[in-house]
Amino acid sequence: MTLGTLSNEGPRRKVGFVGLGTMGAAMAANLVRAGFQLTVWNRTPGRAGPLVALGAVEAHSPREVSQASDLVVTCVTDSPQVAEVLFRADGLAAGFAPGSLLVDCSTISPASTRELEARLKDHGVAMIDAPVSGGSEGAVAGTLTIMVGGEPADVERAHDVLYAMGRSVTHLGPIGSGQVAKAVNQVILCGTYLGVAEGIVLAMKAGADVERVTEALAGGAAGSWVLQNRSGRMIADNYPLGFKIALHRKDMAIALELARSIGAVLPVAALAATFEDGLIAQGYGEDDNSALARAVRRLSGM
């Protein structure tokens, strides 16, 4: 079910945000701009300044965030980090009032999501999973695709918050469903990255005008977000951060483990993960995920 559009009706809601990395900081900024009373916290100090300048309040602990909020968004690295900010001594769970809602925009495994939701129920707190796609550009522009799992009533409670961060918000089913969709998203993306990288290398090695080739392909069946937004980086062999290759490798581990658990075979995803392992070992883990092209270029003597 795709949710309706953003509504600006009603009083300003008290919202918390934990996790102010590349994606989270931009998402939180859009919540402030949308008029929410925002309280923020980040595990690494020094990230909240620009948000405070916009009107957010910086808390000293996750508990202070949940105490000040009816709904809290988390956007951190992986399952252990979500569990930490929730259940440490001064974590979110210690400050939530009964009936509060957690919206987890982190990318973690579906199984971990279901375990965390069960633990939060013991505190009288509801949870939905809402991983995002669209890169840093989409986070800044508020045009993210958000894949949601959880009870329909809880998803509806998060409606305006989700639409302040994203353009496409789809409720896919019970808790964990958003994380399954995100795993599928990352599997498809890795194949697209590899395909675009191979096509660019082929064009360059054949002596073609690669920029004009990518322009010609963009309007046809080979057109994609990756071709449009990342081909330039692959051509230049320069990969400024949009989404860290190390984080994509973490996401691929989630997808590959899910595949193993249900008997699905993902040969392209496994190949991409192997390339990513090599790039990370060479010190390129902080590069944008389009740096997969670096591996294809080097194999081709470029």
144-149 and 132-133 strand pairing: antiparallel
154 & 264 share domain = no
The reported pTM is 0.90
* Residues shown for the chain: 302
73 & 94 share domain = yes
List the domain range (segments joined by +) for residue 48: 14-174
Kindly report the number of other CB atoms within 10 A of residue 218's CB atom.
13
Q: In this structure, which amino acid lies at residue 5?
A: T
The answer to whether position 4 is within a domain reads no
Q: What CATH number did the domain enclosing 233 receive? A: 1.10.1040.10
Backbone angle region of 220, left / alpha / beta, with phi > 0 → left and psi within -120 to 50 → alpha: beta
167 & 203 share domain = no
149 & 46 share domain = yes
Question: pLDDT tens digits for 25-65?
Answer: 999 999 999 999 999 999 998 899 999 999 999 999 999 99
Q: Quickly count helices (H) and strands (E) in the chain.
A: 15, 9
> Of 210, 109, 105, which is closest to residue 148 (Cα–Cα)?
105
263 & 157 share domain = no
User: Tell me, what's the pLDDT at 2?
Assistant: 56
Report the alpha-carbon distance of residue 235 to residue 215 in Å, rounded: 13
The answer to whether position 46 is within a domain reads yes
Q: What CATH number did the domain enclosing 116 receive? A: 3.40.50.720
> Of 301, 299, 298, 295, which is closest to residue 194 (Cα–Cα)?
295
Report the alpha-carbon distance of residue 182 to residue 176 in Å, rounded: 10
The last residue of one of the domains, among 133, 151, 174, is: 174
Task: Copy the structure tokens of residue 141.
Answer: 């522009």
Which residues, other chains included, contact 277 with Cβ-Cβ below 8 Å and sequence gap of 6+?
249
User: Tell me, what's the pLDDT at 1?
Assistant: 55
118 & 248 share domain = no
User: Total domain count for the chain?
Assistant: 2
Cα 190 to chain centroid distance, Å, stands at 15
Averages of pLDDT over each 10 residues, the chain, 302 residues: 48 90 95 97 93 96 97 96 97 96 97 97 96 92 97 97 97 98 96 97 97 95 94 95 90 96 97 97 94 96 95
Which residue, chain included where needed, has tokens 């799992």? Answer: 149
| 250 and 77 Cβ atoms separated by less than 8 Å | yes
Report the alpha-carbon distance of residue 111 to residue 131 in Å, rounded: 14
- Is the dihedral angle over the CA atoms 149, 13, 50, 134 positive or is it negative? positive
238 & 277 share domain = yes
User: Tell me, what's the pLDDT at 65?
Assistant: 98
Identified catalytic residue from 14, 182, 205, 250: 182
Report the alpha-carbon distance of residue 184 to residue 155 in Å, rounded: 21
Q: Is 182 a catalytic residue?
A: yes
Kindly report the number of other CB atoms within 10 A of residue 205's CB atom.
13
Question: pLDDT tens digits for 197-233?
Answer: 999 999 999 999 999 999 999 999 999 999 999 999 9
User: Tell me, what's the pLDDT at 221?
Assistant: 96
Task: Copy the structure tokens of residue 139.
Answer: 């986070």
86 & 225 share domain = no
Burial of 115 (0-12, 13-18, 19+ CB in 10 A): middle
Which residue, chain included where needed, has tokens 């998203």? Answer: 185
User: Tell me, what's the pLDDT at 11?
Assistant: 57
